[in-house]
């Protein structure tokens, strides 16, 4: 009887020791995972902080490196280009295209993705419609607006708007936060696309 009791105690003690050992291993693994998660969160936090530093660019703030890219692009546009609307990709099915208006009334459209018209198209706007666009550019004080309106959300597409009037040239990147007046010009240019009788090149 004593021998039987001794065997039972020995078995129970062994099971207790194994259980403790297993618990320690689980705790260690969990601790290692938490450490990795903390490192990932820390890295994401740093990246997010860097993104936050690229918010809406106002006059007097540190110059955004994209300012130079805008200046270089403007320098390469022909003087005959008076307005342009360009939409960039997102992670979804955002329309990707460019629409250019020239002083002669000639217009070009290049649909890249997620648009009814894909490829290169040409057409013509009346002088009156070109004048409407130029008047809108003047009315909203386009050349007094910021060059870049941005957000730290990476999935947002950009709307690029270019204008050339009375010797002034300017291009704006509107990713998010652009003023109402700028949105009105973007909408007007979008509407102009629908009024053109397009010919595929």
Cβ-based neighbour number of residue 131 at 10 Å: 12
Phi-psi region for residue 119, left (φ > 0), alpha (ψ -120 to 50) or beta?
left
49 phi/psi in degrees, rounded to 5:
-65, -40
pTM of the entire predicted model: 0.68
Q: In angstroms, rounded to a whole number, what is the distance separating the alpha carbons of residues 26 and 50?
A: 36
Q: Average of pLDDT values for 151-178?
A: 92
Q: What's the pLDDT at 68?
A: 86
Reported as a pLDDT band with limits 50, 70 and 90, residue 65 is confident
Reported as a pLDDT band with limits 50, 70 and 90, residue 114 is very high
Please state whether beta strands 119-124 and 199-200 pair in parallel, antiparallel, or not at all (unpaired): antiparallel
Q: 185 vs 33, 85, 120, 174, 180, CA distance in Å?
A: 51, 9, 23, 12, 9
Q: In angstroms, rounded to a whole number, what is the distance separating the alpha carbons of residues 134 and 5?
A: 100
Q: What's the pLDDT at 10?
A: 52
Please state whether beta strands 159-165 and 199-200 pair in parallel, antiparallel, or not at all (unpaired): unpaired
Query: Is 174's pLDDT higher than 70?
Result: yes
Q: 35 vs 47, 101, 119, CA distance in Å?
A: 18, 56, 50
Q: What's the pLDDT at 36?
A: 41
Reported as a pLDDT band with limits 50, 70 and 90, residue 193 is very high
Q: Average of pLDDT values for 98-123?
A: 97
Query: Is 25's pLDDT higher than 80?
Result: no
Query: Is 136's pLDDT higher than 70?
Result: yes
Of 145, 142, 138, which is closest to residue 56 (Cα–Cα)? 145
Higher pLDDT, 11 or 199: 199
Q: 199 vs 105, 112, 123, CA distance in Å?
A: 15, 16, 6
Query: How much of the chain exceeds pLDDT 70, in percent?
Result: 69
């Amino acid at each position: 009887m004593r021998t039987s009791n001794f065997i039972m105690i020995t078995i129970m003690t062994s099971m207790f020791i194994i259980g403790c050992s297993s618990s320690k291993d689980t705790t260690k693994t969990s601790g290692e995972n938490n450490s990795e998660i903390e490192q990932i969160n820390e890295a994401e936090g740093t990246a997010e902080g860097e993104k936050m530093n690229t918010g809406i660019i106002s006059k007097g703030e540190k110059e955004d490196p994209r300012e130079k890219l805008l200046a270089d692009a403007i320098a390469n546009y022909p003087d005959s280009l008076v307005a342009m609307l360009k939409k960039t990709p997102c992670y979804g099915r955002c329309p990707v295209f460019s629409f250019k208006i020239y002083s002669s009334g000639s217009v070009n459209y290049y649909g890249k993705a997620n648009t009814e018209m894909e490829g290169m198209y040409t057409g013509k706007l009346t002088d009156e419609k070109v004048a409407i666009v130029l008047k809108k550019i003047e009315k909203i004080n386009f050349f007094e607006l910021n060059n870049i309106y941005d957000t730290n959300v990476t999935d947002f597409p950009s709307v690029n708007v270019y204008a050339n009037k009375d010797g002034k040239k300017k291009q704006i990147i509107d990713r998010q936060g652009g003023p109402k007046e700028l949105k009105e010009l973007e909408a007007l240019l979008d509407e102009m696309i629908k009024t053109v009788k397009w010919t595929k090149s």
